[in-house]
A = this chain, B = another copy of it.
Amino acid sequence: MPKTTENPYVVQPVMKALKVLELVARHGHEIALTAVSKELRIPKTTTFRYLQTLTAAKFLDHNRATDRYTLGPQMRAIARADASVSKIRTLARPAMTELMHEFNETVNLAVKGNGTIVYIDLIEANRSLRMQARIGDSHPMHSTALGKAILAFLPEAERQRQLDLPLTERTGRTLLEREEIERQLRQVARTGYATEMGENEDGAMCIGAPILDENGYPVAALSISAPLMRMPHSLAAKAGARLREIAAGISARLGSQPAAAG
């Protein structure tokens, strides 16, 4: 009876906690428990629990000195990540179209997820036999050119943590040897682009270059994917150089300083 609003699937505690989150966020500055409770007409105890939970999840911050709550780091991180992704997508789109026309192969854009890369955009070549990924798909880092491009530019500690995770074998050619992977990554760091030959999908290959943010952190990568048979070494090298160039251009517009070579 209290809220037979419509959707029988809404979970009340969650809904109310989101209202609390919203109120605190929109308040613009520190707000105290009682104020939230009064404003939202939610009993003090319950409000207290929500504030605790939201704080524990870092969505809110609790100023112990004043006993008041503010927007937390998690919210800001999410907001930044979101803004960053849309910015990357916007910046990359024209270059992707251009690349697709230049090589007449599918061009992909992916961001670094947690241990994976996630496709956030792609422009398909207009050919009958073409490489298919779908926006939103996740793929392992170590078996894709996109992932390898990102891995190669990750800070050492994070790269190691990444490679410590179990590496899934996607095809018979997927690299699984730590040594071999690290050798390749050093190579990628030197040349500025990564290649992958049938390691993620049989018969397919991919060439990728990293996109770095203002801190030089590889937030995303750009790639061209094609059937192995259509991409001879010479062409791959040319594509790699182009990708590196274009990705660097996007990085620059994200505020990244051009990395000093060697």
Contact = CB atoms under 8 A, between A and B. Distances in A.
Contacts of A32: 136
A79 B81 contact: no
Contacts of A57: 15, 18-19, 22
B13 A120 contact: no
A150 interface: no
A27 to B, nearest CB: 6
A82 B74 contact: no
B78 A135 contact: no
Interface residues of A, number: 50
A7 interface: yes
Contact of A75 (B26, B28, B30, B82): B82
A137 to B, nearest CB: 9
A52 B7 contact: yes
A48 interface: yes
B79 A11 contact: no
Given A22-B78, A71-B82, A136 B27 contact: yes
Contacts of A138: 35
